[in-house]
Amino acid sequence: MVLVSVVGDFYSSVLPLFYEFKDKISTHIVIHDDYRSDIVAAKKIINGTLAFTKKYDLNIKSFVIKMDEDSFNAATQVNELVANHVTRYEELYINITDGLANVGVLLSNEFRAKGANIITYDRYDNEYNLLTLDSMQTYKMQTSIPIKDHLLLKNIEVVSTQNSDFALKHERALHLFFEKYEADRTLYMQDPESHNDLLQKPTGFLYEYYIYNLIKELHFDDILLGVKVKDNRLDDIYLENEYDLLIMKDNHLHMIECKYLKLLDVTALLYKLDSVRETLDEDANIMIVSDFDIYSETLNRSNIDISQTYKRAFAKKIAVRGSPTKCVKTFIKDVNDTFMLKTDNIEDIYAKKINFSSIKEKERVKMKEEIIFFLENNLATKIDFFNIQELSRLLSYRTNKQLSIKTKEMMHQEGFEEFIKLIRKSLQSKQEYISTYDLYDYYLNNFKI
């Protein structure tokens, strides 16, 4: 098979077909214009396909034709150069998708009548049309390029990736960390075996692992975590980028940016993310996941009339989202829809998730019942937990109000320290000491008395 790739505006018009036919190609001819930006694009494709061929030990000969697209004589010479590499025209496949229009027309006119095949790739439906002299057939792509190969074919070097095994190993602890212990994650970790291992990494990195665990079972074709790359341009010129999560689906490479921040400079982030879109895929969808308290999958559209920032986000296909910790199901569905993953069993995936977003309220009720039981049976007293004044007197040595006789007596009883320990337990804190004054504040905030 002789594959001719006419380089146009989009890498995604060339690389999926090269990958689809990689085991059949004997000769690959790259045609490009002599304009500077076309030279850069073509060089990336040429160097990338050569590196790919070497990596997989493929026997593919490569040739490059640089031309002036606006010259009829140059286009005619291209026909002759292509013909020199063909013995049987039935084996000639010319990919003119998004390529140089004049060259595509002339190549088609010259070779289709001789039995050659003209290919046009539909990057939206991930299928290609095969046009011969008397027919046109449509074929669904049978392969999806793995992320590392997708980047390699663009002459982009993957410097490093984060190990997803870490996320899988600590899945339960990560869920607890972000969904349950939001009060003070730096002080408490439920899983003793995970405690030190997790705290060695910044919370921002842990957030990436947590998000990965939420979506890892969706129907993408490939996924990578914490990807650092060198995007080689010309000679020794390269750009360095880092991606939190990359997702491949139907030969489209998408990304999720994880920002564990409640306040974001969204405008600056939009410019940054839009600038790296070409490295991923011209049609890449991008999602920003922050720690903003409210998660809204309609945030972009709801703000579109009042904010230039969200108008830009909406137009650029960059979804700005808050924290998914209290709405895991909504987030999983949102990722599935945003990146067009076409996952059928969303409900089954969600049902398997370790989700602690509803546990805290149940534990509040249970702990409240335990404290009431302790007071009535160990301290032989009753307390109205909706009487804020009396509770404040009970838990604060520094109250400006006069303590009741009953409260004073209670504070000197033998079981009072046990009562304080019980409240500490309810706060799930490992601090060595918490004043009763602070306990009162924490208790009111956590139990919403």
**DSSP for 184-224, written as a single string:** -TTT--S-HHHHHHHHTS-HHHHHHHHHHHHHTTSS-SEEE
Helices 328-338 and 203-215, interaxial angle, to 10°? 70
Residues across the chain: 449
Return phi, psi of residue 14, to 5°. -105, -50
SS3 state of residue 162: coil
Q: What is the pLDDT of residue 6?
A: 92
Choice between 69 and 373, residue whose per-residue pLDDT is larger: 69
Q: Which two tokens stand for residue 24?
A: 């059949």
Lowest mean pLDDT among 257-266, 283-292, 293-302: 293-302
Domain 2-143 class?
Answer: alpha beta
Return phi, psi of residue 131, to 5°. -105, 120
Q: What is the pLDDT of residue 449?
A: 35
Residue of 382, 366, 381 lying closest to 425 (CA atoms): 366
Residue 186's pLDDT band (cuts 50, 70, 90): very low
pTM above 0.85, yes or no: no
Lowest mean pLDDT among 89-98, 223-232, 408-417: 408-417
pLDDT in tens, 387-424: 545 555 555 444 444 555 665 665 666 666 666 666 65
* Average pLDDT value over all residues in the chain: 79
Choice between 303 and 231, residue whose per-residue pLDDT is larger: 231
pLDDT in tens, 32-75: 988 888 888 888 899 999 999 999 999 999 999 999 888 888 88
User: 2-6 and 117-122: which strand pairing?
Assistant: unpaired
Give the end-to-end CA distance of the chain in Å, rounded to a whole number.
75
| Region of residue 446 (left: phi > 0; alpha: psi -120 to 50; beta: else) | alpha
Q: What is the pLDDT of residue 49?
A: 95
Q: What is the pLDDT of residue 136?
A: 94
Residue 284's pLDDT band (cuts 50, 70, 90): confident
**Range(s) for CATH 3.40.1350.10 in the chain?**
149-352
- The arithmetic mean of pLDDT across residues 418-442, rounded, is 52
Q: Please say if the pLDDT value at position 30 is more than 80.
A: yes
Q: What is the pLDDT of residue 276?
A: 82
Residue of 326, 309, 301 lying closest to 214 (CA atoms): 326
- 3-state SS of 59-124 is CCEEEEEEECCCCHHHHHHHHHHHHCCCCCHHHEEEECCCCCHHHHHHHHHHHHHHCCEEEEEECC
User: Side-chain half-sphere of 42: how many Cα atoms within 13 Å?
Assistant: 25
Q: Helices (DSSP H) in 220-327: which residue ranges? A: 266-275, 277-280, 299-302, 308-315
- The arithmetic mean of pLDDT across residues 297-316, rounded, is 65
CA distances from 32 to 38, 68, 69, 144, 176 (A): 6, 8, 8, 25, 54
**Range(s) for CATH 3.40.50.10770 in the chain?**
2-143
Sign of CA dihedral 401, 402, 408, 410: negative
CATH number belonging to domain 149-352: 3.40.1350.10
CA distance 278 to 284: 8
CA 355 to chain centre: 20
Q: Which two tokens stand for residue 144?
A: 């999806």
Q: What is the dihedral of CA 109, 113, 119, 122, to 10 degrees?
A: 70
Q: What is the dihedral of CA 43, 157, 269, 262, to 10 degrees?
A: 170
CA distance 428 to 446: 11
> Cβ(146)–Cβ(247) under 8 Å?
no
